[in-house]
Amino acid sequence: MLLAIDIGNTRVKLGLFDGPDLVADFQLRADRERTPDEYAVQLSTLLSLRGQTPADVDAAAMACVVPRLGETLREFARRHLRCEPLVVRAETNTGLRIRYDPPSALGPDRLVNAVAAWTLWGAPENTACVVVDYGTATKLEAVSREGEYLGGAILPGIGISLDALFDRAALLRRVDLHAPPAAAIGANTADALRSGILLGYAAQTDGLVRRFFQELGGSARVIATGGIAPLIAPHAETIAVLDPHLTLTGLRLIHERAARAGVESVV
């Protein structure tokens, strides 16, 4: 089985694949102080809840935007999974032609998302695609109908924006994020915040995506992912697909491509 590891600034997301099937997925806090052995204990416990053990894992693929944590989890894979993980970088053979300048500045999570979106929804339909990833940062990626990664946009994520708002606005209190009120005009402070946060970010997404459409020369298939995507997607007119496991799937697809080429790891 393949263990896909998506190392972000806030969370580490892991997916266990049996062939193309995602049989288990987990999220851990991105703790830079935790050791490889501590991650092994935690993962062993989580796998046991799904009837699996680390011994069932025979390969790993990783995308990382936190270098220190990436080294920790790479050592975890070597020591406890007995495998060298494939570490995705800009030079990894993903099947996409990268037009980013310079390619080395492209975050691996962004590349992995673009690969998954293109493979699943772009290439089969011969259409351009756009990914919207709602994470610590909100990231948009654009892939042409010819399979070229063109670039994208990066802006502060919802969590960062809310932290700044509540830290600086003394009279505002945090609210649980759930479906916004039926009307955009909130009749109380809690609903006003939900409207502004959820409907506001949906409108922001639509505005940016429509600009992407113009530059792509027409419409594109838009795929949303990330922790808060299920709350935003129903209110964004441009989002066509919601895929919470897009990054993990992208890691699987890249690993399969590397395996076909006889490449076990990218150092």
Could you tell me the maximum CA-CA distance found in the chain, to the nearest angstrom?
A: 60
Whether 137 contacts 159, CB under 8 Å: no
Residues annotated as part of the active site: 109
Phi, psi of 114 (to 5 degrees): -65, -40
Q: 17: which residues sit within 8 A by CB, 6+ positions away?
A: 1, 2, 3, 4, 23, 248, 252
Alpha-carbon gap, residue 20 to 3, rounded angstroms: 12
Calculate the CA dihedral of residues 254, 257, 263, 267 and round it to 10 degrees: -20
**Tally of CB atoms within 10 A around 192:** 17
Alpha-carbon gap, residue 260 to 267, rounded angstroms: 18
Amino acid at 168: R
Q: What kind and span of H or E run contains 38? A: helix 36-49
Alpha-carbon gap, residue 188 to 66, rounded angstroms: 40
Q: What are 91's two structure tokens?
A: 């030079």
Alpha-carbon gap, residue 135 to 159, rounded angstroms: 8
Alpha-carbon gap, residue 142 to 232, rounded angstroms: 19
Residue found by looking up tokens 């990436």 in the block: 70
Whether 186 contacts 148, CB under 8 Å: no
